Amino acid sequence: MATLIELDEVKKHYEMGESTVKAVDGVKIKIEKGDFVAIMGPSGSGKSTLMNLVGSLDLPTHGEIYLDKHDIAHLDESQLSQIRGRKIGFIFQSFNLIPNLTAKENVMLPMIFQGIDREEAELKAEELLKSVDLVDRAEHYSSQLSGGEQQRVAIARSLANDPEVILADEPTGNLDTKTGARVLEFLKELNKKGKTIIMVTHDKELALKHAKKIYWLKDGKVEKITKK
């Protein structure tokens, strides 16, 4: 398979007074198209920082990050924003839905940002909500939805611009076991359809059950890699 994302000796260090925090410290990762990868580690291991780097939400202090063979480590915020909008869909633990928008409007938003006609965006949002069994909740606000429903809206939103990569940060962290299992089934279905899934988690059982490859982080470094 072709390599879709590659991190080469990536570091993210923060200066805290007279000390340096090495949040990510020399990470080398390769993710292939169509992969289902878990980034696993305890709190403070560097998972969130690494997710931000992989998702073009932050830039490294050192090293190279390639997305589809394009070096994104040295782009400006405007260029990064365009890449994020087209290439990567995000699913966050806290859902990150905009409360004064309906479920449908939340799904439409990434398309509007990419300049897609509003009518076209509305039709696609309805299709995406249907795909996660929520078309009947399209006009509801997030406060009117359960946690599981909000996460499914977030999944639909992540697919708005048909990205190659779905980046899921603790996607079941705020859900009960049954609802979390359903969300993971949606992610597995997306993977079967060719989407590359990167799941950030501290849940060992979840990672071992669903991921084809696991990068185990400790103190900002990849401690080991396991494959199915």
Question: Using CA of residue 161, residue 167, residue 170, residue 172, what is the dihedral sign?
Answer: positive
- Provide the token pair at 220: 């900002």
- pLDDT tens digits, the chain, 228 residues: what are they? 788 999 999 999 999 888 999 999 999 999 999 999 999 998 889 998 999 899 888 889 999 999 888 888 778 888 888 888 888 999 888 889 999 999 999 999 999 988 999 999 999 999 999 989 999 999 999 999 999 999 899 999 999 999 999 999 888 888 888 888 888 888 999 999 999 999 998 888 888 899 999 999 999 999 999 998
Angle subtended by helix axes 147-158 and 177-192, to nearest 10:
20
Strand pairing category for 196-201 and 36-40: parallel
What's residue 110's pLDDT? 92
List beta partners, residue 217. Answer: 222
Residue 180, Cβ neighbours under 10 Å: how many?
Answer: 19
In the chain the domains, ranked by start, together with CATH numbers, are: 3-227 (3.40.50.300)
Contact, 133 vs 179, CB < 8 A?
A: no
What's residue 97's pLDDT? 94
